């Protein structure tokens, strides 16, 4: 089977931008959910990043009948027993640590960051890591998955506006600035998503070459 196009099944504009940049040297047309004539909603209700990514990949691929790439990713903070974890995108709304209000004229990302910094206010251990699980799935043929990690710590205050999500408060190991201060090209050299994507591209080169 020749794969000439793939659906990046996410509505997160930050992820779409990073995936397109990472795959621009790959001879595959990259589509997003906005390119599709019909839309479906797939609930992320599993217990791990990988399980969520697998569920999304299968349901989107079976519906659209084309190869799909899905990802579930998030931030794990050691002092919070791994939270936000799979709840990273909606951390502000869950009961753990008390819910955080989304204020007028701000994003959910802002509320997530504010809640996380509140919970870490009296913590000395600020170590954390970003996790990415990516799944590539071809309907009725096969699927593969990869993972990537980026280790670092949580900053005292947000800095930078170039990233998304928790980027403004995450300082990667070996750096003194947050991911929110990284250009996309610089971020794509070290990020959890870049590492998982690099592994996926190596696998796809072998699989597609053997088809």
Catalytic (active site) residue 72 = yes
Find the helix or strand (DSSP H, E) in which 64 lies. helix 49-64
Q: Is the peptide bond before 99 cis (omega within 30 degrees of 0)?
A: no
Task: Report whether 163 contacts 185 (CB < 8 A).
Answer: no
Mean pLDDT estimate for the chain: 92
Torsion of CA 194, 73, 204, 65, to 10 degrees: -140
pLDDT of residue 153 exceeding 80: yes
Closest listed residue to residue 67, CA positions, set 23, 8, 134, 10: 8
Angle at 164 between CA 30 and CA 185, to 5 degrees: 60
Confidence bin at 39 (pLDDT 50/70/90): confident
Q: CA-to-CA distance for 67 and 2, rounded, in angstroms? A: 10
Tokens 């170590």 locate to 127
> Has residue 1 got a pLDDT over 60?
no
Q: What's the helix, strand, coil split of the chain in %, to 5?
A: 40, 20, 40
**25, 27, 35, 72: which is the annotated catalytic residue?**
72
Report which of residues 102 and 28 the model is more confident about.
102
Higher pLDDT, 202 or 58: 58
Q: What is the pLDDT of residues 51-76, one digit of tens each?
A: 999 999 999 999 999 999 999 999 99
Reading the block at residue 210, the tokens are 């053997």
- What average pLDDT score do residues 146-158 get? 97
**Prediction pTM value:** 0.89
Backbone angles phi, psi at 138, to 5 degrees: -105, 125
pLDDT digits (tens, 9 = 90+) for 77-132: 999 999 999 999 999 999 999 999 999 999 999 999 999 999 999 999 999 999 99
More confident residue, 127 or 39: 127
Q: What is the set of domains in the chain, with CATH numbers?
A: 5-210 (3.90.950.10)
DSSP annotation of 8: E
List, in sequence order, every beta strand (DSSP E) within 21-110: 29-32, 68-77
pLDDT band at 15 (very low <50, low <70, confident <90, very high): confident
Work out the percent of the chain whose per-residue pLDDT is above 90.
73
């Amino acid at each position: 089977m020749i794969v000439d196009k793939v659906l990046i099944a996410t509505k997160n504009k930050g992820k779409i931008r990073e995936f397109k940049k990472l795959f621009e040297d790959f001879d595959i047309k990259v589509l997003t959910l906005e390119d599709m004539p019909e839309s479906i909603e797939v609930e992320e209700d599993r217990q791990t990043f990988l399980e969520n990514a697998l569920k999304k990949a299968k349901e989107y691929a079976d519906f659209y009948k084309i190869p799909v790439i899905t990802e579930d990713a998030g931030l794990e903070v050691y002092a919070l027993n791994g939270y936000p974890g799979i709840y990273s995108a909606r951390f502000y709304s869950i009961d753990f640590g008390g819910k955080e209000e989304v204020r007028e004229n701000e994003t959910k990302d802002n509320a997530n960051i504010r809640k996380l910094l509140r919970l870490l206010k009296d913590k000395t251990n600020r170590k954390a890591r970003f996790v990415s699980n990516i799944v590539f799935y071809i309907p009725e043929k096969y699927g593969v998955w990869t993972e990537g990690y980026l280790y670092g710590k949580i900053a005292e205050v947000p800095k930078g506006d170039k990233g998304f999500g928790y980027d403004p408060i995450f300082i990667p190991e070996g750096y003194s600035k947050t991911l929110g201060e990284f250009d996309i090209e610089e971020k794509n050299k070290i990020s959890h998503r870049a590492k998982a994507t690099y592994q996926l591209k190596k696998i796809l080169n072998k699989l597609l070459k053997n088809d």
